[in-house]
Amino acid sequence: MSEPRESNAAGEKIAKVIARAGVCSRRDAERLVAEGRVKLDGKVLESPAERVRPGQIVLVDGKPIAEPEPSRLFRYHKPRGVLTAARDTDGRPTIYDTLPPSLPRLMPVGRLDINSEGLLLLTNDGELKRRLELPATGWIRRYKVRAFGEVTDEQLARLGKGITVEGVTYGPIEARLERVQGDNCWISMALREGKNREVRRVLGHLGLDVSRLIRLTYGPFQLGSLGKRLVEEVPPKVLREQLGGAIKKPVRERTRH
């Protein structure tokens, strides 16, 4: 997960600085620059490649960005029926409607669709979010799935070689039939890519209708016994051990909510 360090004299790219300040992700920061909403020392920026040197002032929508907060990571047990989004035009509840107001501004690492539940990582650091989402991390996501229909061990084993569904190629998936209950079956799945609706689309291709999808792990971080709608900060020591160079600043002590 290491990347070449940027010289302090040369500065850091503007999108990275904005992300580190917790304003948004690096990708969204690049969009803000493209929309002319970012100024550096009073000048509207035109390129996300612009570098910020120590002492320079960055404004987003006319407001100075905050000093970067220590990197923090939280485990959240997302329930079904809640969107992984900041807001919804249809008025459906989002994860932010369920989070305690005492928490800092947090961004989700990856997504879980509205009908999925389980572990969702949240961070205050847009650059850390980007690192954790990169396919290059190779982190395994584990799921427990309930689906309507029949499937064989042989069909699931073939997913280990990868599969292409409607023109989209998915990498190797470890899948195992756990048990059968009437017309439903429970399947354990592990994958590294986590493409949009990957589990549902792959199992749908096998003739299964997913009725429940629970994410149990994201890399080294586990849902464990964390109750629904509860959030707990990853201990600083664990964060440093797992992420190493991705953490540029010391993390705060653990808090529970």
Is it true that domain 73-136+220-246 has CATH number 3.30.70.580?
A: yes
Helix (H) or strand (E) holding 120: strand 116-123
What average pLDDT score do residues 67-71 get?
Answer: 79
Q: Which of 63-72, 82-91, 181-190 has the highest mean pLDDT?
A: 181-190
pLDDT of residue 255: 44
Residue 254 makes CB contacts below 8 A (sequence gap 6+) with: 232, 233, 234, 235, 236
The CATH classification of domain 12-64, taken from the options 3.90.79.10, 1.10.260.40, 3.40.50.10860, 3.10.290.10: 3.10.290.10
| Per-residue pLDDT band at 19 (split at 50, 70, 90) | confident
| Number of neighbours of residue 2 by Cβ within 10 angstroms | 8
Q: Do domains 12-64 and 140-218 have the same CATH topology?
A: no
Hey, what are 8's tokens? 């302090």
Cα 22 to Cα 42: distance, rounded to the nearest angstrom: 21
Whether 249 shows a pLDDT value over 60: the answer reads no
pLDDT of residue 11: 80
From the list 110, 104, 139, 133, the residue with the least C-alpha distance to 221 is 139
DSSP annotation of 67: P
Hey, what are 215's tokens? 């994410």
| Per-residue pLDDT band at 12 (split at 50, 70, 90) | confident
Q: Which residues carry out catalysis?
A: 113
Q: Are β-strands 116-123 and 209-218 bridged in parallel, bridged antiparallel, or unpaired?
A: parallel
Whether 71 shows a pLDDT value over 60: the answer reads yes
What average pLDDT score do residues 138-166 get?
Answer: 95
pLDDT of residue 23: 85
Fold (topology level) of 140-218: Alpha-Beta Plaits (3.30.70)
- What is the residue extent of each domain of the chain? 12-64, 73-136+220-246, 140-218
Encode pLDDT of 96-133 as tens digits. Answer: 999 998 898 899 998 899 999 999 999 988 888 888 88
Q: Are β-strands 221-222 and 231-233 bridged in parallel, bridged antiparallel, or unpaired?
A: unpaired
What average pLDDT score do residues 20-37 get?
Answer: 87
| Per-residue pLDDT band at 2 (split at 50, 70, 90) | very low
Q: Alpha carbon 195 to chain centroid distance?
A: 12
Judge contact between 146 and 211, C-beta under 8 A.
yes
Encode pLDDT of 39-61 as tens digits. Answer: 999 999 988 889 998 889 999 99
